Amino acid sequence: MTQGAYEGLRADLLACRILPGSRLKIQNLCDRFSVSLGAVREALSRLTSEGLVISEPQRGFRAAPISVTDLRDLTMVRIEIERLCITRAIAAGSVEWEAKLVAAFHRLSRTPERAVTDPMRSDDDWADAHAAFHLALVEGADSPWLLRIHSQLYAQSERYRRLSVPLSTEERNVGDEHQRIMEAALRRDAAGAVALMTRHLAVTTEILLGADIESYAARRAAREDQDGDKGE
């Protein structure tokens, strides 16, 4: 039961269905996931350790907020970790690694990026395929610690990426970006793959920095809190 609550709540946080900065009301979560108070508290504790939830003394829990400072720092660190992972993967990756990367790209390229019912929202299946592609790219690095750090950074970045979808005012061919990264990796062109990945991550950051994400998220979170108060 705890695992189900943890996975469901984590998915909602990453997809920004629960907005950064929003209050997390334990009883509402118990009802939502049909689990006990203890199961929700354990799930919140795990998510707090992952940095996706914050605990406020005497005030309960909130989804971790976002900020321009955090985004800049996160992007900088992620670029450095991606550089290490990609360089190691290209140097040590086997033919099996190449095959998994091609398969992950094929799945991603065949999955619609936007939700059919709401073109302003990233499709959940595409988000899963996107995560699988980025993991396949670096799995050849063969370093459990690097991959663990990579996974943590990807999860934090995913909240920002989801927020960037409705904020983008420019046409962006993300599929082409992924293909170029994959092709460079298959050519064993580490410098080229790292440069492409750096630009890939920087574009999302630029979109968010140009859209005043702190105000955007704060306004939406405040509305969500007000709506929740009205329903109590």
pLDDT band at 138 (very low <50, low <70, confident <90, very high): very high
* Residue showing tokens 């904020």: 167
Q: How much is the pLDDT for 99?
A: 98
* More confident of the two residues 219 and 90: 90
The pLDDT mean for the chain works out to 88
Cα 147 from Cα 154, distance rounded (Å): 10
- Per-residue confidence at 209, pLDDT binned at 50, 70, 90? confident
Helix (H, G, I), strand (E, B) or coil at 110: coil
Neighbours of 226 (CB within 10 A): 10
Measured CA to CA, the distance from residue 206 to residue 215 in angstroms comes to 16
Per-residue confidence (pLDDT) for residue 222, from 0 to 100? 63
Report whether pLDDT(231) > 80.
no
Judged by phi (left if over 0) then psi (alpha if -120 to 50, else beta), residue 22 lies in: beta
**pLDDT value of position 60:** 87
DSSP E strands in 97-192: the ranges are 114-115, 118-122
pLDDT tens-digit map of 215-227? 666 665 566 556 5
**Is the model's pLDDT at 229 over the cut of 60?**
no
Range scoring the smallest mean pLDDT among 35-39, 87-91, 183-187: 35-39
Q: Which of 102-106, 129-133, 140-144 has the lowest mean pLDDT?
A: 140-144
Read off the pTM: 0.84
Query: Bridge-partner residues for 53, per DSSP?
Result: 63
pLDDT at 217: 61
Q: What is the mean pLDDT of residues 207-213?
A: 74
pLDDT at 207: 81
